Amino acid sequence: GSDKFDESFLPRYLSFVKGVIDSRDLPLNVSREILQQSRVSRIMRKQLVKRTLDTIKGIKKREDSKDYDTFWEAFGKNLKLGVIEDQENRENLSNLLLFVSSASGEGLTSLEDYVSRMKENQKAIYYIAAESKDIAATSPFVEDLLKRDMEILYLVEPIDEVCVANLAKFKDYDLIDVSKEDLVLDDESEEEKKSSEEAEKEFSDLTTWMKEVLGQKVEKVVVSKRKTDSPCLLVTSQGGWSANMEKIMRAQAMGDNRAMEYMRGKKILEINPNHQIIKSLKGSRDSNASSMVALMYETALLTSGFNIESPRDYAT
């Protein structure tokens, strides 16, 4: 007997694969429910997924990369969905993914190729999620990495960030969002460590006061270890959404604010101890200084990719 492929044989993300199975082992006249649970169909499903992914891998290995580019354009989203839904095949799928990156020019890069270009002492794969390549490339979060000539993946499709978060690792490398707190770039010298400890001490009164001024808007204010030209940046806590994810979810939430509040990343303001504005704030605590802090926060919301919470305040 033969049976058309359907969801009992192939997972949802491979729904674009069509075919007919010829099987001598299927019990005759059985209902779909029993078929789904039968051991035979489980083994077949496993085999079909494996064969499908092997076929796709074959296309990717072809000398003419145009074939895979065409395939990717049509079905790349499906494979990203697979990473999210199919834990068992996550590793195989991760080898098939393509992303825009700071080094990919007009094209895309695989994670394998990214790893082959990594700096000698680089221990992680870095990424940022944004609405477009241009926004990603000019984000203050990538400034330091680009100066150090480190490659960054630019996640510009809404599904990318969830896909990469589910992947979490590729080979032995963690995938790290550069817009999150506690970013440590691997080549921090003893000297740099020492100077950031000193800066922390030197600015501890200022960070405490700035947190008082900003209140609930931020979880905390800390001295940044990043090399940046901005006076400050707003990063998000490890567990929460990034600024980009917050925008995507805001667009989909249709006013379900409870869920939004719950999942939103806690915002942490990182101040740049080498910036003139920050230095000038060190001793001052008057209302001008408070206004300056509020303005810096609003500006950081924008440059860090968040929506301004109430545009009215910003305009005044």
pLDDT attached to residue 316: 42
CA separation, residue 146 to residues 161, 189, 260 (Å): 21, 18, 32
Give the DSSP H/E element, type plus range, for residue 176: strand 173-177
Every domain of the chain and the residues it spans: 2-94, 100-177, 190-315
Range 190-200 burial, b when 16+ CB lie within 10 A, else e: eeeeeeeeebe
The tens place of each residue's pLDDT in the chain, 316 residues long, gives 445 555 667 889 998 888 766 666 555 555 666 666 677 778 888 889 999 999 999 999 999 989 999 999 999 999 999 999 999 999 999 999 999 999 999 999 999 999 999 998 888 999 999 999 999 999 999 999 999 899 999 999 999 999 999 999 999 999 999 999 989 876 678 888 888 899 999 999 999 999 999 999 999 999 998 888 999 999 999 888 899 988 888 877 666 677 677 777 789 999 999 999 999 999 889 999 999 999 999 999 999 999 876 655 544 4
- The answer to whether 248 and 129 are in contact (CB under 8 A) is no
Measured CA to CA in angstroms, residue 134 lies from 22, 102, 131, 138 at distances of 50, 10, 8, 6
Q: What is the DSSP letter of 308?
A: P
Rounded Cα distance, 210 and 202, in Å: 14
Record: fold of 2-94: Ribosomal Protein S5; domain 2 (3.30.230)
DSSP letter (8 states) at residue 138: T
Torsion of CA 104, 108, 112, 113, to 10 degrees: -30
User: pLDDT value at position 118?
Assistant: 95
Token couple for 159? 């599904």
**pLDDT at site 22:** 64
Query: Residue 224 and residue 282: Cα distance in Å, rounded?
Result: 15
Distance from C-alpha of 242 to C-alpha of 32, rounded to nearest angstrom? 43
Q: What is the DSSP letter of 266?
A: P
As a CATH number, domain 190-315 is 1.20.120.790
Order of strands across the sheet that contains 220-223:
220-223, 267-271, 232-236
104/66 Cα distance (integer angstroms): 15
Phi, psi of 7, deg, nearest 5: -60, -20
Strand-pair category, 2-4 with 20-22: antiparallel
Q: How many CB atoms lie within 10 A of CB 118?
A: 15
pLDDT at 196: 85
Instruction: Name the fold adopted by 100-177.
Output: Rossmann fold (3.40.50)
